[in-house]
Structure 1
């Protein structure tokens, strides 16, 4: 972690970053963006291909309930990690387990779980609001990258390394299993294992990113950069790398613009708005290519 901070400090001293990045909390913000952007960008194509955008949104909203449970159980209000990760992982695995054993449309099932998570979170937050500062709950909803601490960075880095390992080891097989499950099984791919592993990874990444982007917006950062990349990509490889580029660029600009005063809004909203602008630009490029 210190090496990442030193890298940011070197950029600041070389004149590539404003003087304000000599402060530790802004350095932490930039380090978080450097980890989170490539991670969400790498997972985005699988989320889009497997049509799990609504699923990641449901897990993000489930984080509200996880935070509330953690505070009620006595965890620190700023880092209720045990309850947060436990609830969201159980939430994601239970949703996927029920999906594999019913004939309900997946979007309808996710809608049921999403409604449950929001209702339970809203009920618990009434009790939590009496015990903690309401601004802590606002940070959970909309994100505040300026409150990122060393523990948050460590958790994010560990999950990023886990995600990178899974993508390198089984990314192609997971993609094959999502596109043509029957063919994947004939080739010996354990489709069910990859399904549950990917769902768990999405839950972990979503929860780790909540403090930065916010529970309401975290699903958008998995979806929008990958969708933008799909609009202009002509191959699977380009789809993957464009998604990483757009997600990383969104994270960096979403931090730098508010800090420079150009976009005086919360970091989570700024990150998603930048990714939305990139989506519009990608749509324009696609239209231009069609006319050329």
Structure 2
């Protein structure tokens, strides 16, 4: 991490970055943004294709319960990483396991899990508030990128590396399994394996992104850039790269503009607002093409 900071300091001295990046916590925020933007953009197309937008939202909300459990078990109030990842991972895998063994509509099942996690989180917060400042939980809900530490960056880097490996090795098979499952079976693709791998990756990436975007908004960043890309893309390759572009630009502007005072809102809200602006732009381009 020190090498990344040294690079940022060098760019700041050369005038390529604003003077504010002489501070380490701002450099951490920029590094986190540069990892999260492409990562969420790369996973977004599969979220859209597999219609898992509501699922990612549920996992994000489950983070609040995971944080409350961690604090009750004695983890640091600012970094309850073990309980956070464990609860959200179990939440996602159990939800998908029940879905594969029942005929309950997926959106209804996700709604049940989402309601339970929110209710459990609300109940546990009453006990957590006695131990810590309850305002710390606002960082979980809405994100607090300026509090990102080296440990958070290392966790994010590890998850990014795992996701990148999965995307390189299996993105085409995962997409084929989502769009044409019968054809995928004839080619020997293990549909269940790819389903669980993708669900697990969505859960891990969602939890890792909570500190930057916030539990309430992280699902939106998985969905909006990919939906915008789908509106104007003509091929699967365009769909993927435009989603990465929209997500990365939204994250960078959503962090830099509030730092510069151009948007007096939290970084998580700024990121999603800018991503929504990208959706409107994509919609205009799509409408213009239809009349051209």
Tell me which interval the TM-score lies in, with the shorter structure as reference length.
over 0.9
- Specify the alignment match of 1:272 in structure 2: 272
**Contact 1:8 / 1:31 at 8 angstroms: preserved in 2?**
no
Q: CA deviation at 1:2?
A: 2.6
State the Cα distance separating 1:6 from its structure 2 match: 2.6
Counterpart for residue 196 of structure 1? 196
| Rounded Cα–Cα distance in structure 2 between residues aligned with 1:166 and 1:157 | 14
Runs of 4+ residues deviating >3 angstroms: none
- Verify: 1:171 aligned to 2:159, yes or no: no
Number of the residue aligned with 2:35: 35
State the 1:158 CA deviation.
Answer: 0.3
- Normalising by structure 1, what TM-score? 0.98
* Pairing 1:65-144 to 2, within 5 Å after superposition: 65-144=65-144
Q: Once the 2 structures are TM-superposed, how far is the Cα of residue 5 of structure 1 from its aligned partner?
A: 2.2
Deviation at 1:136, TM superposition (A): 1.1
Question: Structure 2: how far apart are the matches of 1:242 and 1:249?
Answer: 10
SS in 2 for 1:158: helix
Q: Quote the Cα distance in structure 1 between the aligned partners of 2:129 and 2:263.
A: 29
Can you list the C-alpha shifts for 1:210-235, whole angstroms capped at 9, x where unaligned? 01110000000000000011111111
Q: Do 1:53 and 1:223's aligned partners in 2 also have CA atoms closer than 8 Å?
A: yes
Task: Write the deviation string for residues 77-103 of structure 1: whole angstroms up to 9, x where unpaired.
Answer: 111011100000000000000000111
Displacement of 1:182 in angstroms is 1.4
Match of 1:244 in 2: 244
Partner residue, 1:287? 287
Q: For residues 123-160 of structure 1, what are the alpha-carbon distances to aligned partners after superposition, in whole Å with 9 as ceiling and x for unaligned?
A: 10111112112221000000010000111110000000
Deviation, structure 1 residue 289 = 1.0
How many pairs does the alignment contain? 292
Report how far residue 290 of structure 1 moved: 1.0
Q: Distance in 2 between matches of 1:275 and 1:131?
A: 37
Which structure 2 segments of 5+ residues have no match?
Answer: none
What SS is found at the alignment partner of 1:196?
Answer: helix
- The SS at the match of 2:196 is helix
Counterpart for residue 21 of structure 2: 21
> Greater CA deviation, 122-131 or 47-56?
122-131
Asked if 2 retains the 8 angstrom alpha-carbon contact of 1:8 and 1:30, the reply is no
Q: Retained in 2: the 8 A contact 1:253–1:271?
A: yes
